[in-house]
Structure 1
């Protein structure tokens, strides 16, 4: 197979260290190891900005490709993994752990990107790994990797892969927008008490009359709408439980029923399938608790750095991330009465007030976390006149669409991962690849 070494197409620009005191200040987004998915691909989410001075050579723009030539774990999942800066990151900055690929004139950029996402390349990275505790991929070995010639057939395959990734990215951005819209509605009703404040100020109604009339006309002495009650979550609960794992853990199981741990509890519409672990079918069937149902709210129970508890909450359902799965002992499964609703529960536990209360309750012990008594004692506001149930129904289409987008993205990713090995081997004809893509796009 005619090919050329990667060094014929690229030069490398390594990043450098940064000052922790300048994190969060206006500036480029830091694109370190945490911004790269396992085995390649961009990982958004909680990127931090950096307000310090940065050499122009280590700044990144949309479309730029960067790589990790190290991994702090023995899995080597990040060793040599590449990512492409998405459009919404207007400017990024390399760290000491990431390296920019500076393409020479005429380099087939997209072809190189996808070749560096292929299983063959991932195997190459693992075979050339150096070190024991922290793994490294020598620069010269990386640059020696062979890139197949950009034949018309390969470039057409690359176009199909680009289209699949673009659609996955569109779904991700749509989900962020949908959740932001739902969160804004919830915050206006249940946190800022917008309709009641509007009534007090004599402003015009901005909700349907039948809903507007359900909001009280004034706030009480505690600053909440009259007739609304602050109580404990325990009053609403129908399910609060954790799951479990077999003795000896799950590291030896490659197949079975998926088991979700605390590391997978991030936010609505997110799940890292690269972290999937399994329990045997027999163990799953023997579990008396911890079987996840559609629209369960899952809460991070314990873990993290000593002395600091950072709560995470999500909602899974409609076969996302799996039609059938369990949780382990580090995750709570929570359901509440229908009069409040699972959607309202998720958005309530995601408010800054709820997170602040969880941080206080979960911090200060050797292993930061929340016991069941602390979860039951969490504060929650109960509106009058069935408003929670009405809001839960209003939030439902937003949540349903997010979960549908997640399932579609999973199908797109599966198609992409099937086609990737064929980029090198040429086993699949371009027309067949295009037909497969059309079925899911």
Structure 2
């Protein structure tokens, strides 16, 4: 049947920023939830895709929401399972329904003519449950990583911004939550260095004191069949996972990423993009956009300190002050601004102690990212096979 037999797509609704009021109703643009409002224009559950701007992404919204005019949303599911419809739309190439105007976009009337095959509603429910199980675990990993990162950043702030262990010892107290051996690594007094109060024996340096920029580039197109793990700005913003691409699909020079590198984006530093790179299965090379600066710790024990310092809000604030550009959406910093950004430098034994506590946290985060990538790959392989009936869903009841 046609897609229009399955559902009705409707253009989203205007809502200028000056007319928005603080609330909990998600505002959905062509790139996903972009803001919140105090009233809804559509009832949930909802399925939304881009009409202009970002085309091809599909979003599922549990509750009531406001789809913006850059989107198309499902106004009528016509008795079909909403979550199944979400997965169905993810298999459709909406770029083929370009309305040919001066600003390319999706023509919903053309999209309604797309030919699709759909199963009975009971089977739709089973398919939705199977695929949702993957998405639920991926989202759980994402939430877990947010918690783990908050733990690492809280420890960094306590040790290297607020100097809690030092101040506790100055009061004659044992630093909270710290064993006696680690506590001995911290001094019991502060001193002034370059007009700033720091723990005695510490100094204020720069990122370049503990890290160096790598600059080796490669043209992926000269190895068209090689597999490249591509760390790009869109990939970071979408799922914080690189895309796996053939060299023939990458049209410009990229930085080669050595093992243990941390990527720092030059673009719009007020929105920090710090990427802790990892090994990528099935990739011949790891490369990143030249919008990133790859940094390597000069000594391995400084790697956890480097990563968490780069993710601290004081670092992004420092870079934002150095940014230049014609608009807020296209501001950049120079590599030199990143290398010379100020950084608190403790003795190496304190950095080692910090690493002992944070390396397990960072390792768990990398494991979750790898697991999510694997689950995503399985889900994407299953999706068209489930929708086509190639994979029989009988016997999958009760999947967890």
Matches within 5 A, 1:210-289: 210-221=181-192, 222-237=196-211, 239-246=212-219, 256-265=227-236, 270-271=240-241, 273=243, 278-279=246-247
Residues 256/385 of structure 1: CA separation in 2 closer, same or farther (3 Å cut): closer
What is the DSSP-based 3-state SS (H/G/I as helix, E as strand, rest coil) of the residue aligned with 2:241?
coil
Give the corresponding residue for 1:208: 179
Distance 1:69 1:244 in 2: 35
Alignment match, 1:387 = 350
Residue in structure 2 matched with residue 43 of structure 1 by the alignment:
none
Matched, 1:57 2:41: yes
Distance 1:115 1:266 in 2: 24
1:40 maps to none
The two structures, once aligned, show a CA RMSD in angstroms of: 3.9
- Assess, with a 3 A threshold, how the Cα gap between structure 1 residues 266 and 128 changes in structure 2: closer, same or farther: closer
Partner of 1:342: 303
Distance 1:30 1:256 in 2: 37
CA distance in 2, matches of 1:363, 1:133: 31
Contact 2:117–2:388 (CA under 8 A) maintained in structure 1: no
Contact 2:210 2:306 in 1 (8 A): no
Aligned residue number for residue 112 of structure 1: 85
Q: Equivalent residue for 1:33?
A: 30
1:136 and 1:189 map into 2 onto residues whose CA distance is 51
Describe the shift of the 1:161–1:400 C-alpha distance in structure 2 as closer, same or farther (beyond 3 A).
Answer: same
Asked if the contact 1:297/1:346 (under 8 Å) is kept, the reply is yes
In structure 1, the partner of 2:160 is 190
Q: 1:8 to 1:316 in 2, by over 3 A?
A: closer
**Quick one: distance in 2 between partners of 1:205 and 1:343?**
21
Name the CA distance, whole Å, in 1 between partners of 2:359 and 2:154: 14
| Shift, 1:85, TM fit | 2.7
Alpha-carbon deviation of 1:316?
Answer: 0.7
Task: Name the residue aligned to 2:68.
Answer: 95
Q: Report SS of the residue matched to 2:159.
A: helix
How far apart are the structure 1 equivalents of 2:282 and 2:160? 29
- Per the alignment, do residues 130 and 244 of structure 1 end up closer, same or farther by CA in structure 2, a change over 3 Å counting? farther
Q: Give deviations 1:149-186, integer Å, cap 9, x for gaps.
A: 32644543332112111111111111111111111111
Cα distance in 2 between the residues matched to 1:382 and 1:203: 24
Alpha-carbon distance change, 309 to 14 in structure 1, aligned in 2, over 3 angstroms: closer
State the Cα deviation string for residues 362-408 of structure 1 (Å, max 9, x = none).
32689853444333322111113611121122111111111111111
| Structure 1 counterpart of 2:383 | 420
**TM-score normalized with structure 1 length:** 0.75
Q: Aligned pair in 2 of structure 1 residues 135, 7: CA closer, same or farther (>3 Å)?
A: farther
* Residue pair 2:236, 2:242 contacting (<8 A) in 1 also: no
Q: Provide the residue aligned with 2:290 in structure 1.
A: 329
Q: Aligned equivalents of 2:221 and 2:292: distance in 1?
A: 15
Deviation per CA, 1:310-358: give whole Å up to 9, x if none.
5522111143795731234332211113365222111101112211222
Q: How does 1:114-133 map to 2 (within 5 A)?
A: 114-118=87-91, 122-123=92-93, 125-133=94-102
Q: Which ranges in structure 2 are unaligned for 5 or more consecutive residues?
A: none
> 2: CA distance between counterparts of 1:407 and 1:159?
23
Q: Give how far 1:201 is off.
A: 4.5
Q: Give the drift of 1:99.
A: 4.2
Q: Do the aligned partners of residues 245 and 290 (structure 1) sit closer, same or farther apart at CA in structure 2, a change above 3 Å counting?
A: closer
SS state of the match for residue 411, structure 1? helix
Whether the 8 Å contact between 1:200 and 1:218 is mirrored in structure 2 is yes
> 2: CA distance between counterparts of 1:327 and 1:104?
41
Give yes or no for contact 1:72–1:133 (8 Å, CA) kept in 2: no
Summarize the Cα distance change of 1:377–1:195 in structure 2 as closer, same or farther, 3 Å threshold: same
Which residue of 1 is the match for residue 53 of structure 2? 72
Which deviates the most, 218-227 or 183-192? 218-227
1:136 is aligned to 2:101: no
Does residue 1:14 correspond to 2:8, yes or no? no
Task: Tell me which of 344, 347, 359 is aligned to 1:396.
Answer: 359
Question: What's the secondary structure of 2:214's corresponding residue?
Answer: strand
**Are residues 139 and 27 of structure 1, via their aligned partners in 2, closer, same or farther at CA, if it must alter by over 3 Å?**
same
Work out which of the residue numbers 268, 271, 275 in structure 2 matches 1:314.
275
Change (3 A) 1:154 1:55: closer
Relative to structure 1, is the Cα distance of residues 15 and 22 closer, same or farther in structure 2, using a 3 angstrom cutoff?
closer
8 Å CA contact 1:313, 1:350 repeated in 2: yes
